[in-house]
Chains A and B, each alone.
Chain A
Amino acid sequence: MTDFADIWSYLSRGPLLWLTATLAAYAAGDLLFRASGRNPMVNPVLIAVCILAVVLKLTGTSYATYFEGAQFVHFLLGPATVALALPLFDNLHHLKRTVLPVFAALVVGSVVATGSALLIASWMGVDQMLLASLAPKSATAPVAIGISQELGGSPTLTAVLVILTGITGAVVATPLLNLLRVKDWRARGFAVGVVSHGIGTARALQVHPTAGAFAGLGMAINAVATAILAPLLLGLFLS
């Protein structure tokens, strides 16, 4: 009979175990989310990430080994982003009548997302490399990383800040927008997509299909807006 340690060392090196662990951690997060009465503070992504972080730490598994398995889930992000065309198409009748609100909310949302972060961080005495890494944080990850590199930021740091921004938006959006009494699903979804890209869009899709469609739209056009605005706004803060 093979010893448990041998079986473990075999499994922990292959993709099967970590793919399963990713799904199990998310299933646990989703279960807690449902058990909480779909409370937005109980975010399934955040819970899954925390569970996995503990498991990886306890088993001494490197992220590279983990990603061998998790890459199959990660890969689906691309096709899923393309699939956002479906809710957008279903909400086309909304889109045609919202050109002005979309444009106004894009400019305000994007400028406030980048500008307020730069303002707070520079006020706290953060260095220039960190400011450059922070500037594109509301854009979807591949775009944000590209912008950060051009501005002299750190791509790794930007990836971290992008994910943190996404999770923050997904957690705060519902209570915040209820507090502000914004009832328009288009407005709610769009703002979340602009500020919190794909993670915010995933959250908006859970809440309402129209909010999900507008979040997808917000994520897409803020990728372009951030590429234009982030260098301009950063220029104001660099000496």
Chain B
Amino acid sequence: MHALLIILIAQIAGEFVARAAGLPLPGPVLGMIFVLGLLIAVPHLREMIRAVAQTLLSHLSLLFVPAGAGVVGHLATLGDRTGVILLTIVVSAVLAIGAGALTFAAVARLTGSTDD
């Protein structure tokens, strides 16, 4: 229960700071940064939040289903541009994931940072 309380308070704090400071970050992402800072400051809290955090994350894909179902209803708004848009989305995702991963791996190799 305390774990969920910490997570929800961090989310509220994130929402509050994001709005108060006009940051281009959603509240939950800022909340994630707050919890990360908290864990660095007080490492033994890790055991306390682990079970709840893992439960939430093990079903992360499920949580996108309601938003995804909303998309289907709006696909019609793309109209005759549907094909062009789908092509753009797929090609740009492929290019960006490939370019991003290759860049990361190349710079990691150059700076001697290995994956272990």
Contact = CB atoms under 8 A, between A and B. Distances in A.
Contacts of A143: 24-26, 29
Contact of A85 (B36, B59, B60, B63): B36
A82 interface: yes
Contacts of A80: 56-57, 59-60, 63
A87 B53 CA distance: 9
A15 B94 CA distance: 38
B50 A121 contact: no
Q: Do most interface residues of chain A lie in helix, strand or loop, or is the interface mixed?
A: helix
At the interface, is chain B mostly helix, strand, loop or mixed? Answer: helix
Interface in A79-131: 79-89, 92, 94, 97-98, 100-102, 104-106, 108-110, 112-113, 116-117, 120-121, 124, 126, 130
19 contacts: A48-B69, A63-B69, A66-B66, A79-B4, A83-B57, A85-B33, A86-B50, A112-B96, A113-B92, A143-B29, A156-B77, A159-B70, A172-B93, A176-B97, A183-B105, A186-B108, A196-B97, A202-B61, A218-B100
Interface of A: 22-23, 25-26, 44-46, 48-50, 52-53, 56, 63, 66-67, 70-71, 73-74, 76-89, 92, 94, 97-98, 100-102, 104-106, 108-110, 112-113, 116-117, 120-121, 124, 126, 130, 134, 137-138, 140-143, 146-147, 156-157, 159-161, 163-170, 172-173, 176-177, 180, 182-188, 190-192, 194-196, 198-199, 201-203, 205-206, 210, 212, 216, 218-220, 223-224, 227-228
